[in-house]
A and B are shown apart, each in its own frame.
Chain A
């Protein structure tokens, strides 16, 4: 089973700051890596697929990078609505998720 490790567990930032979230896979997943955003009481929302492609309607401030085992989600300038939990998911060997990174208001 491929294990995804997300870091940090919690990121405390202010609106306007840059957020950098990490997802590391226990073995290569090539570029089969997606990122989701989830707010309390809501279903997850797809942000990034295939490591670096923004999903439909996702603002340009969200970007993804990486391949193999190391991936990054970057939010260039945090908006108030971006404070949420972010999950990565690999698609190389069925869809395990990471445990999530909570981006909270500092």
Chain B
């Protein structure tokens, strides 16, 4: 059974940093691209970033480019999102999701809440 479990969310001040993790199990992690998608409270979904299985290809939404860094450790079946220079508008539930093809995601974690507030 495919399982994805995010962790690392919490309260952080504007300008601060946070690192999210996603532990994957139930599939051959290294052969799948992975996405991060976020959802601000009461709002819609926003695709954030994608990383290929080998980390050769990485893309970001314009809203996070230059501030967020996606990475993975295939030996640990783990996906990461390093978030720097956080802003109030980054407040959201962050989901990791397995890519079926590109940004289309067939399995999702339950999400971790990031709150950026002073």
Q: How far is the CA of A32 from the CA of B47 in the complex (A)?
A: 15
Any A CB within 8 A of the CB of B82: no
- A94 and B47 contact, CB distance less than 8 A: yes
Q: How far is the CA of A56 from the CA of B2 in the complex (A)?
A: 13
Which single member of B47, B103, B110 contacts A43 (CB below 8 Å)? B110
B108 CB → nearest A CB, Å: 4
Interface of A is mostly: loop
B-contacting 9-mer, from A17-25, A63-71, A96-104: A96-104
Q: How far is the CA of A50 from the CA of B100 in the complex (A)?
A: 11
Residue among A1, A36, A95, A97 with the highest chain B CB neighbour number at 10 A: A95
A96 CB → nearest B CB, Å: 7
- B47 and A95 contact, CB distance less than 8 A: yes
Residue positions of B touching A, CB distance < 8 A: 35, 37, 44-47, 50, 59, 61-62, 95, 100-106, 108-111
A and B contact pairs by CB, cutoff 8 A, 7 listed: A1-B62, A32-B102, A34-B104, A91-B104, A94-B50, A97-B44, A99-B44
